[in-house]
Structure formats: structure tokens, C-alpha cells
Amino acid sequence: MAQKLIPELLVEDNKFCPGCGHGIVNRVLAEVLEELGLADKAVGSLAVGCGCLMMDTFGTDWVQAPHGRAAAVAVGVKRVRPECCVFTYQGDGDSLAIGFSETMYAAIRNENITAIIVNNGIFGMTGGQMAPTSLPGQRTTTSPKGRDAALTGQPLNIINQMKNLPVGYLARGSVDTAKEINKVKKYIRTGIETQMKGGGYSMIEILSPCPTNWKMTLQNSLDHIRSTVRATYPLGEFVKDGERTDA
Amino acid sequence: MTKASKKRLHMVQHHERCKGCGFCILECPKEALSVSDDVNRKGYPLVKLDEEKCIVCAICHTVCPDYVFERREVA
Amino acid sequence: MSYRLMKGNDALAEAAVRAGCRFFGGYPITPQSEILEYLSSRLPEVGGTFLQAESELSGINMVYGAAAAGFRAMTSSSGPGFSLLQEGISYIASAELPAVIVDVQRYGSGLGDIFQAQSDYHQATRGGGHGDYRMLVFAPSSVQESVDLMGLAFDKAEQYRNPCLILSDASIAQMMEPVKLPEMQEVDPDKPWAAKGKNGGDFKRITSTMYYIEDFDGYIKAKFDSMAAAEQRWENVEVEDADIVLVAYGISSRICKEAVAIARSRGIRLGLLRPITLWPFPTNAFKEVNSEVKAYLTVELSALPKLEDDVKIACEMKTPVKHFLGGANIPESSAIVEEAVSILNSREEVSWLKN
């Protein structure tokens, strides 16, 4: 057994709520960047939402984009500095509501960047409003009687939107168990390796609990992901090395 | 892995970082973790580690969102 | 150096390349699309990147990213597209990054139309996005000046770490004139502040600088005050003895120059004050004007007067300020002269002055 130390990239304690999955994703991403020797040449792009709280605690270079526009900013960085490891880190509201166009077009152009999208099914920072990813019937502060899919649409499955595009790598993980967290780490590693070998766009969506805004205990939040959320958002690798793995 | 070398690795806790979410307690396969009566400076209850039950698997490290646990070689 | 016959938009694009611009992200809109078309083939020739974005929103944020990485970067748009750039411009200003934005003005609000106009004055000079910032705004009145101001805009953007705007219009951008082009510049993108990976140093956070600067209010005010004091540019034509001084920029100022010549040939003492920077507005230029001047007459291609506001501020309301609006039509120089004459003959103005 080897030591398991806290990555040096985590320069300060994170600012997320108790039980929030962002902290886990932060640690896993930091481990991957350090293990691949990319900590010194990584540039992250984040925008607005709980994810942006990591700008002071996660020690890579950062550019903070307007809400939703992290992918466009990342594209600007990567196109002029192709030697850098350029990634976006966003929540589902940021990347898939206001930022849907920028997110999709980065994939459509098969931009050589890695997108990390943490999906907790709500807008967290603003207090738990409905997101494109909210499940039918899900109670949020803007769908107090539960999301009515007839009025607001079905939950947005971004991998279904992207998997027919000529992209490098698409995977969906979850941080609800240790086993799945280890898979998330593998997915992020594969995504970043895809970018660094010039393999095109990589995106890893990560299902994550938000006990605060779900108004659930952590235990119930984790059970909810396993029993319900995963049914709408299945886990696994969907595109690898530019090839569909589920076809 | 010999018993001797295994003994050198311990789970080290950074209690001041803990926000008391309890993920580690839920996931510990040996029920070696429990809530103690003490709280840290943030006011969150400390997680108590039972060294006798701990197998140093570091699942607590894997699931902890707040970087509380490290598996370290301790002399 | 020999002259080259170039269209205004092409000249802006070539001047940007020669000023070291190595990234362009933008979206087509008339009357600025030639800038995209030109750069789509020109930038790759010098190792730069041209990217046709899915929207102006995306284009300005690509520029934000490339600028954050230390490279000279630019986008261009017009009217409705210029509105879409405002969010990104505010972020670039807030992060204190250099970038150049071109607005080739067209007519009207909403969709408006593609005719020449000077409709975007307020949006350009007041900081069209949210918050506390200004852009240096350069207003070329010829293709040659488009070239000259482009190089200056990139230098000033870097000097102040602030976005700069070239405010052109459909006439200047679509006309062809002979120009002298500057030499090609190579600019080092490895600025100490550039996001390029921390490479063993401290990690860099490119975001609103207000998070990391003590007394930010004082700091940012001092920054824009120093720009306002140092960067005023103008051209005065026969203002020392003028009874009426025209104030106009861009295409309008060219008509006004002709109007001054016509008026002078008829013995009418007409002058022209031509702002080259619209922010900072060249208030110092007014010190050169005849202290007995009877009125200022602003001339702009717009349905509503806009330039008038700044002239009233600059002359501290001590002199009557009238406006002549061309709308989407470039006025005849003789019509401007007639307007000046009628102001001179107007009794109403004299009584206004006494109040």
C-alpha cells in the first residue's frame, strides 16, 4: 500500500458546503494533474456557480469567465497556448443552461480541451433553483410543486447531445461511493490524456450530491443518486479515442 | 504486503478541515469511524477513528470532500 | 514606403496583424464582415488563429481567453453584435486585460439597418457593459487613420491593461483609400501576468481585480483618471477665430472639414473640432477655441443627438450647443454651412445666452 496524501494543488481548504461533491472532484482532479505532471502547465477556466469557489483554493492558473462562457474562454487559451493543459470546471446550471451554446460548440468543433461538468441537478450558489438537469417531479425553489416536464422540458442529458459528434472522449461518473469516485478519477485522467495527445474534445460529467439545496441528509442524497439520478444519467464511458463505446 | 510494513501506514486526520458530513462514516467498511462528542473550531463534530478496527484502506480518504484523511507513513 | 489601396475594414484587419494581433474570434455582421474574411486567411499566414465563433458572446470570450494567455487579441462587430459584446468587454476590463474591439457602426436600435451611421456613441463612450470601467475609444476618419489608430489601440490596451475600442462606421469601413502600412511587429506573449501554467511559480487568478486590490475604488478611479488626462486626442481646424465651431468625428468630420472650407471662402468664420478619442473626450481641445465663439454645432449620423452631451460638458454649458443630425444619410457640406449661418443669425440663441 502506498501513501495517500492530499495533493499540493489543494492549497487551501475548500469553501463548499458539508457533503458537497465538489470537494471530492477537486481532490481527484488535483491528483490527476499532479500524477500526469501537468500541474505547472494547467490553465483552468471557470465561470459562475459553486464551482468557482475553487479559484482561491486550487492552485492552478485560472481565468474566470462570465456565467456560462467558460468553454469559449478555454478555447481562447488553448488555441494560443496549445502546450497547456486547458480545462473547464463548471456546474450543470452554468455549463448547460446559460452556457449551453458555448459548451456544445466547443464539442462541435472538437476543441482540444477537457470539460468537467459537475451535475447536481440544481443551481446551487443561488439557492437551489431548477436547472436543465433537474429531474421530473424534482422540487426546487423555482419548481416548488416538482418539475413539470410538460412545461419545462425533460432533463438535459448532455452526453446524448454530444455522443454523435466527432469528439475525443465522453464519460459520466458519480461521487456517491468510493468505487465510483475511483472511476471518476480514471475518467478525468483519460479525458486529460486525450487532450494532451491531441485527441480532441473530452468531457466528463460527474453526478454529485447537494445536500444543502436538496434539503436531504448526505445519506439520503447518496441514496437518491444511486436509486434515482443514475437512472436518468447512466454512468460509464460513452466515447473513447473518438469512437462510440455504447453503440 | 507484510504485517510489519502495513503497521507503518496510518490514517492521519486533519480535524480542523472536517465539516461533519459523515461520508467517511457511511463508507467505512469496518465501522472504524464514529461521531465523537468533541467539535472542531468550526463547530463540527469530530470523527473518531478506532485504530483497532482500521485496516488503513483509505476509503475515508477517497470519499472525504474536505481532505481530512491521509494515509501516511508514521515512524 | 509605397501606398496600398485598401478598403477600410481590410486595412483595420491588416493593421491589427501588423500590430502583433495573433488571435481573432468573431461573428459575421454587416458592415464589418470583411474583417473576418480578411483575417481568416491572413492570421494563419503569421502563425495566428482565426476562429469564427458561434456568436458574438462566444467570440468576445475567446478573445478574453487569448488575452488572458498574454496574446494580442481582437474581435469586431457592429450595432446589434456590439451589444452582445458588452458582457465580455466588462469582464475583460474588470480582469484588467488588454484587448482591442472594433465596432463598425450601422444605423438604428434593434435590428436597425446596415447603412452608415454613428448610432453607438453612448454605448461606446460610457462603457456599454455593467459596472465601473471605460474603454479608450478611437474614432478614425479615414482608412489611413484606421491603420494608425489600430496600432496605437493595441499599445494603449497593453499599457493600461484595458480594452480599447476602434469606433469606425460603415462609410470609413467600406471606402477604399491609399494607405501606408506600418512594419510587422512581433509581440512577446509571455507577460508576467499571463495564464500559461504556473511553471513553478505562484498560481495566477485572472478575474475581477477588485478581489485582490486594497482600496479598489481609489485604485480604479485613479487608473481611469490618468487615462482621461493623458490620452485625449483631437484635431482642430481653424477654431482660433471661429464664430461657430463644428464638432464631429469619423465620417461626419470629413464633411465638416469641407464645410469649413466652403464657409471660409464665403467669409464665414467656421471651425471644426474633431475628437480622435471619444473617451476620453478631448476637453482640452476646447481651450484652443476662440473664447468669443457664439455656438458649437455637433454633426453626427444619428437619429438622436449624442455627441452634444459631451460638448455641453466640455464647454461647461457656457456656450450654446446645437446639433445637426444626418440620420443614416451623409449630409451635404453646404447644408451644414447653412445651418451654421442660421444659428449665427438666430436671435433666440442670443437670448438663451443672456439667461
User: Which domains, and CATH codes, for chain B?
Assistant: 3-73 (3.30.70.3270)
Q: Which of A6, A20, A178 sits opposite B59 (nearest CB)?
A: A178
DSSP state of C275: E
Instruction: Please give the grid coordinates belonging to residue A242.
Output: 473518438
In chain A, the residue whose alpha carbon lies closest to the alpha carbon of B56 is A1
CB neighbours of residue A33 within 10 Å: 25
Model confidence over A211-229: pLDDT tens digits? 999 999 999 999 999 999 9
Q: Which residues of C touch A64 (CB under 8 A)?
A: 95, 205-208
Q: How much is the pLDDT for C201? A: 94
pLDDT tens profile A40-62: 999 999 999 999 999 999 999 99
Q: What is the spatial distance between Cα B56 and Cα B51, in angstroms, rounded to a whole number?
A: 9
Chains in contact with B via at least 3 Cβ–Cβ pairs below 8 Å: A
Contact: B70, A5; criterion CB under 8 Å: yes
What dihedral angle (degrees, nearest 10) is formed by the CA atoms of C188, C189, C193, C198? -110
Of the candidates A41, A73, A105, which has its C-beta nearest C197's C-beta? Answer: A41
Domain ranges for chain A: 22-123+132-138+155-162+178-232
Give mean pLDDT, residues A149-160: 97
Residues with Cβ within 8 Å of A243's Cβ and at least 6 positions away in sequence, in order, are none
Q: Which domains does chain C have, with CATH numbers?
A: 4-230 (3.40.50.970), 235-354 (3.40.50.920)
Q: What percent of chain A has pLDDT over 90?
A: 99
Order of strands across the sheet that contains A42-46: A243-244, A236-240, A169-174, A202-207, A114-119, A85-91, A42-46, A61-64, C205-206
Q: pLDDT, tens digit, for every residue of A97-121?
A: 999 999 999 999 999 999 999 999 9
Residue-level pLDDT at C348: 54
B23 to chain A, any CB pair closer than 8 A? The answer is: yes
Mean pLDDT of chain C: 96
Backbone angles phi, psi at A200, to 5 degrees: 95, -170
The pLDDT of residue B8 = 85
Chains B, A in contact: 3+ Cβ pairs under 8 A? yes
pLDDT at A129 over 90: yes
Do A127 and A84 meet the contact criterion of CB atoms below 8 Å apart? no
Predicted interface score ipTM higher than 0.90: yes
Q: How far apart are CA B46 and CA C340, in angstroms?
A: 83
What does the pLDDT average to over C110-126?
Answer: 95
Architecture of domain A22-123+132-138+155-162+178-232: 3-Layer(aba) Sandwich (3.40)
Using a CB-CB distance cutoff of 8 angstroms, which residues of chain A are in contact with residue B66?
Answer: 13-14, 23
Residue C65 with chain A: CB contacts under 8 Å: 45, 63, 65, 72-80
- CB-CB neighbors (< 8 A) of B70 in chain A: 3-6
* Chain C closest-CA separation from residue A108 CA (Å): 10
- Per-residue pLDDT at A247: 61
The mean pLDDT value for A224-238 works out to 98
Site from B26, B40, B62 to mutate, A interface, most A CB atoms within 10 angstroms: B62
* Average pLDDT per consecutive 10 residues, chain B (75 residues; last block may be shorter): 62 96 97 95 95 97 98 89
Segment C318-339 shows an average pLDDT of 96
pLDDT of residue C127: 82
Residues of A in contact with C129 (CB under 8 A): none
A73 and C62 in contact by Cβ < 8 A?
A: yes
Q: Is the dihedral of CA A93, B61, A195, C97 positive or negative?
A: positive
Residue A78: list chain C partners with CB under 8 A: 65
